[in-house]
Amino acid sequence: MPDAVVVGAGPNGLAAALVLARAGLEVEVRERAGTVGGAASTRELTLPGHWHDVGSAVHPMALASPFFRALDLPALGVELLQPEVAYAHPLDGARAALALRDLDATADGLGADGPAWRGLLGPLVRRWREVVDLALGDLRHPAPRPAAALRLALAVAEQGGPAWGARFSADLAPALLTGVAAHAVAPPRAPGPAGAGLLLATLAHAVGWPVPRGGSQRISDALAGEVRRLGGRVVLDAPVTSLAELPPARAVLLDVLPGALARMAPGLPSGYAAHLRRWRHRSAASPVHFVLDGPVPWAAPGVDRAGTVHVGGPRGEVVAAERDVAAGRHARRPYVLLSQPSLLDGGRAPAGRSTLWTYAHVPFGSTLDVGEAVQRQVERFAPGFSDRVLHRTAVPAVELERGNPNLPGGDVTGGAVTPWQLLARPVPRWDPYRTPLEGVYLCSAATPPASGVHGMCGVHAARRALRQRFGIVVGPDGLTPG
């Protein structure tokens, strides 16, 4: 019998399993799908021989997360390809803001707002490891480096509050920052999205926004391979609907959302179960995958060198689109997150073709095919784009849940990004990972530090299970001795 069972082989479940296996435990992972990775997987979603990431496509956390820094993905065979431009934000009139790896070069391209960009992000870039360790912590322990915490708090207060427009005087820099803040799938002018945007913008200058050769599946496969190398079992096509179906184990870690936990464990105390059922989802994403007969014909110079492009127009337009989505309306001009993996990875499509990954933000549970709206938005900044489209596959947000229960209604963030749900994930308890059931822990994106392919939700839960159930202490990254 295993010492520990992990349910769910997404990045957090695999990270938890790896931490437990590295500590010497007998570990079994159960995954309902036929492959590991969850949203961090890669499949032929359009035409044969054309490989598309299902969810996550670009991975700054593969180089920045404490867990991945300690694990060293390149040593496990994952090749991380760095685009010349981390991300770009095109505007009308064939103009664009470009986030380069070099902070000063980025500032130079932002004109009059260059010094303001440097002043906002420079202190965070210089302390990026401390900023990341703070942002990816469990939100329950004091910051080990107060100076970094203060810098981040001040930046979040500025960009997430009434003063967010005071720093910049032109339109390139605010659009560039708002586009990255919109990754949170919530109106950017709030602390949660502002914090996410500042963290990701910092990482663009600190470690870059790399794309794995072969797709996100390579990261997931590397994690599963390491679990197996350490003696763990990864069982596929093994759905779990009740905790009673699991073999006896001293620890059970669940990479599932609060609602699924409530359904799997009917014996939970009523108060705790009520909190789980009150967990809210607000907005969603709808993927649209393209096959092109060449690269996107961007009008603005430099966008063709970007691994990621935020398509949404000026700051005010992005904010308006996100507010529409949060209010349950489809935006006429949706915010579109776009990745161009074929610029770096020729193996994603046959010669002469390229794959394009996009998703639009839509209301929670949307059934709408947004393929045409996304194509119009890209065409707006890349005239002639439609002429290059050979195939388009749009996935309504509601369809995502059918392939992955951790994406209910198309919610890719694990729950609404509100101040309360960021602090009380998923319930208002000091230990958010430990459930009232003996030996049962939650390790999904519904726990701190929330969504992203960083593995730290799994690490924090596994560290507690090791200490509380086995008397084993490991370091904050989960892989080094405590």
Mean pLDDT of 186-215: 95
Q: How many CA atoms lie within 13 A of 226 on its CB side?
A: 27
Pairing of strands 283-292, 306-311: unpaired
Instruction: Give residues with Cβ within 8 angstroms of 144, minimum separation 6.
Output: 130, 133, 134
Judge whether residue 419 has pLDDT over 90: no
Residue 47 DSSP SS3 = coil
Is 74 contained in some domain? no
Measured CA to CA, the distance from residue 135 to residue 321 in angstroms comes to: 27
pLDDT tens digits, 249-299: 999 999 999 999 999 998 899 999 999 999 999 899 999 999 999 999 999
User: Structurally, how many domains does the chain consist of?
Assistant: 2
Res 183: pLDDT: 95
Same domain as 378, residue 237 = no
Same domain as 224, residue 195 = no
Q: Which of the listed ranges 126-140, 169-183, 268-282 does the model predict with the highest average pLDDT? A: 169-183
pLDDT tens digits, 422-477: 888 899 889 999 999 999 999 999 999 989 999 999 999 999 999 999 999 999 99
Mean pLDDT of 381-395: 98
Paired tokens of 120: 């906002």
Mean pLDDT of the chain: 95
Same domain as 346, residue 435 = no
Same domain as 421, residue 293 = no
> Per-residue DSSP letters for 330-398?
--SS--EEEE-GGGT-GGGSSTT-EEEEEEEEEETT-----HHHHHHHHHHHSTTHHHHEEEEEE--HH
pLDDT tens digits, 325-370: 999 999 999 999 999 999 999 999 999 999 999 999 999 999 999 9
Same domain as 102, residue 155 = yes
Same domain as 182, residue 228 = no
Residue 275 DSSP SS3 = helix
Do 442 and 426 touch, CB atoms closer than 8 A? yes
Instruction: Give residues with Cβ within 8 angstroms of 8, minimum separation 6.
Output: 29, 30, 31, 32, 38, 254, 255, 256, 406, 444
Pairing of strands 95-100, 85-91: antiparallel
Res 141: pLDDT: 77
- Domain end residue (candidates: 376, 403, 430): 403
pLDDT tens digits, 56-103: 999 999 999 999 999 999 999 999 999 999 999 999 999 999 999 999
Question: How much is the pTM?
Answer: 0.96
Mean pLDDT of 312-325: 96
Please, which pLDDT band fits residue 139 given cuts at 50, 70 and 90?
confident
Is 442 contained in some domain? yes
Res 34: pLDDT: 96
Is 478 contained in some domain? no
Is 75 contained in some domain? no
Judge whether residue 143 has pLDDT over 80: no
Same domain as 171, residue 46 = no
Phi-psi region of 151 (alpha: psi -120 to 50; beta: other; left: phi over 0): alpha
Judge whether residue 189 has pLDDT over 90: no
Measured CA to CA, the distance from residue 164 to residue 16 in angstroms comes to: 37
Residue 252 DSSP SS3 = strand
Res 178: pLDDT: 97
Do 465 and 20 touch, CB atoms closer than 8 A? yes
Res 181: pLDDT: 96
Do 448 and 164 touch, CB atoms closer than 8 A? no
Residue 475 identity (one-letter amino acid): G
Same domain as 157, residue 13 = no
Judge whether residue 26 has pLDDT over 90: yes
Neighbours of 333 (CB within 10 A): 18
Same domain as 229, residue 258 = yes
Instruction: Give residues with Cβ within 8 angstroms of 236, minimum separation 6.
Output: 9, 31, 33, 34, 35, 36
Is 18 contained in some domain? yes
What residue numbers bound the domain in which 418 lies? 4-57+215-280+414-470
Same domain as 312, residue 199 = yes
Please, which pLDDT band fits residue 140 given cuts at 50, 70 and 90?
confident
Res 205: pLDDT: 98
Is 462 contained in some domain? yes
Same domain as 339, residue 392 = yes
In three-state form (DSSP H/G/I as H, E/B as E, the rest C), the secondary structure along 74-131 is HHHCCCEECCCEEEEEEECCCEEEEEECCHHHHHHCCHHHHHHHHHHHHHHHHCHHHH
φ, ψ for residue 301 (rounded to 5)?
Answer: -60, 140
What CATH number has the domain bearing residue 240?
3.50.50.60
Same domain as 313, residue 199 = yes
Residue 382 identity (one-letter amino acid): A
Is 127 contained in some domain? no
Is 300 contained in some domain? yes
Paired tokens of 124: 């965070």
Mean pLDDT of 123-148: 89
Please, which pLDDT band fits residue 207 given cuts at 50, 70 and 90?
very high
Measured CA to CA, the distance from residue 434 to residue 448 in angstroms comes to: 12
Res 147: pLDDT: 85
